[in-house]
Amino acid sequence: MVRLILLTIVAALATAKNIIGVAPEDQHLYEPRSDGKWSCLSDPSIMISQDQINDDICDCPDGSDEPGTAACESRREDSKGFYCANEGYFPGYIQHYKVNDGVCDYDTCCDGSDEWATGKCPNKCDIVRQKFDKYVAERKADIEKALRIRNQLVKKAERAKAEVGKELEKIREEIFDLSAKLEKERKNLQRTKAQTSREGSSDRYESNEASKQISRLEKYFESSIASEMKSQGIISKLETLLGDLTENYNPNYNDAAVKNCVREFREYISGKEDDKDSQEMSFEDAKELLKRLTISTPSEQSHITIVPTFDNMVHYYFSKLINSFRPQPKEEVAQPKSEATKSNVEVEIEATIAKLEKELRSKQSEASIYEENILQQFGKDDIYRAMKGEWISRKIGEYNYKIGYLDSIYQDNTLIGHLTSVDQSTLHFTQGAKCWNGPQRSASVDLICASKSRIVSVSEPEKCHYRFLLETPIVCEAISDEEIAKEFKIEASEL
């Protein structure tokens, strides 16, 4: 009852000047009509007397009659909240349910006006203002410093990228040299193979030529023998005829031609008898002798496959003769050559080529990694390139946490995860050590701008998924005073 009376007095006093909880620019909405009544804001048909405004009783359906109390809480959908003037600082709005609840909400109402009825909260806007000014000044200085550090990191990132470029250039040169060496060795192999093949074909050419000559000689001898044999047949026939003539001619016919022929034939026959005694082998004897010759083919001369007979004797002996001049027979050239049939030089060159090809493949895959790297953008301004090898650690609670920007996170010696992706200003780490009866550990790291790298906090919102807040210069950007002001938070404990 005492409270209600007090409220009514304060409200009545305030009515003359202003309506509690309403911003100066909205005060006109609470001007009374000419008859001294006031209409609810959302429904002008409902009229109440002025002393019903802020009397802690809800009269309007939208709660507009209670801008300075906690009444009508459930009805205020469009309300901005309770207005705190915060003289000397910045005005603020607080939810109506916090008005006169006995708690000082200095973060919004540093003047303590939200507790106007309880009178529990003295105005602390001066201190808040001082803290705010200090925060803004320090924050501005820190951001400026952070931006300078960030600029250095951008340069470091550029150098790191240039290093990758240099490394890539070096690898490309190595690839060029290796390719040239490989080309040279391949040509060398081709030449060596061609040389071997020429030597082989020259042998084949020679033996082809010999075979042709043998074949010609064989034909010559065969036709000579045939013609000799034919001649022998004719001679023998003529000898029989002339023998008959010599035996049976009639000497009483004085035929000079016949007598002459008989005389000449008798001389021929007697001469032939003498020839039989001579050492020269007659054609018949030779023929007979060769027929009797049966020479088996010696196994080591397996390339002579013919068994000599009279009919093939010329062929046989010429083959034998030519074979003795032939180079030792070579193995058939199989494609591809077996190791055993390759020359030592070929084997050596092929080994060199295989080694060079392997080296080249490895260099090419190395180069493709560097090429990919150089085409990639590692965060804004490529800044993450500068963070390679950078670790931050801090003991929080019972554990020591270590965060490697481009690497992993550890909770003491337990792996929380490896960096898998970067999204705006959050790093994601996954594939950590498995939790007992739970998933593999993982973490998200939210980065906020500061000149120094520092783990601000860690929490475990889900079992074995961690959330870190990390201050770092890498996400810094120039920001306005308004934005810095919005960042400022005051804790009641600080006042």
Contact residues toward ligand MAN (CB under 6 A) are 411, 414, 435-436, 460, 463-464
Assigned token pair, 351 = 């080994």
Q: At its nearest, how many Å lie between ligand MAN and the CB of residue 438?
A: 6
Q: At its nearest, how many Å lie between ligand MAN and the CB of residue 59?
A: 54
Tracing tokens 């906690």 back to the chain, one arrives at 70
Q: At its nearest, how many Å lie between ligand MAN and the CB of residue 414?
A: 5
Assigned token pair, 99 = 């008005």
Angstrom distance (rounded) from CA 217 to CA 208: 14
Q: Which is nearer to ligand MAN, 243 or 438 (CB)?
A: 438
Asked if residues 40 and 61 have their Cβ atoms less than 8 Å apart, the reply is yes
Q: At its nearest, how many Å lie between ligand MAN and the CB of residue 455?
A: 15
Q: At its nearest, how many Å lie between ligand MAN and the CB of residue 440?
A: 11
Angstrom distance (rounded) from CA 259 to CA 239: 16
Closest CA to 326 of 175, 234, 203: 203
Q: Which is nearer to ligand MAN, 227 or 393 (CB)?
A: 393
Radius of gyration of the chain measured on its C-alpha atoms: 60
**Angle, CA 361 vertex, CA 360 and CA 363 arms, to 5°:** 65
Q: Which is nearer to ligand MAN, 92 or 417 (CB)?
A: 417
Q: Which is nearer to ligand MAN, 131 or 428 (CB)?
A: 428
Q: Which is nearer to ligand MAN, 141 or 435 (CB)?
A: 435
Angstrom distance (rounded) from CA 427 to CA 452: 18
Q: Which is nearer to ligand MAN, 413 or 421 (CB)?
A: 413
Q: At its nearest, how many Å lie between ligand MAN and the CB of residue 465?
A: 9
Angstrom distance (rounded) from CA 17 to CA 25: 13
Assigned token pair, 107 = 């973060």
Q: At its nearest, how many Å lie between ligand MAN and the CB of residue 361?
A: 43
Angstrom distance (rounded) from CA 213 to CA 206: 11
Give me the numbers of helices (H) and strands (E) for the chain, helices first please: 7, 12
Asked if residues 456 and 471 have their Cβ atoms less than 8 Å apart, the reply is yes
Q: Which is nearer to ligand MAN, 325 or 436 (CB)?
A: 436
Angstrom distance (rounded) from CA 455 to CA 411: 13
Q: At its nearest, how many Å lie between ligand MAN and the CB of residue 372?
A: 35
Assigned token pair, 139 = 């924050």
Closest CA to 294 of 306, 274, 308: 308
Closest CA to 80 of 108, 103, 116, 102: 108
Q: Which is nearer to ligand MAN, 408 or 472 (CB)?
A: 408
Asked if residues 474 and 147 have their Cβ atoms less than 8 Å apart, the reply is no
Q: Which is nearer to ligand MAN, 151 or 414 (CB)?
A: 414
Q: At its nearest, how many Å lie between ligand MAN and the CB of residue 445?
A: 16
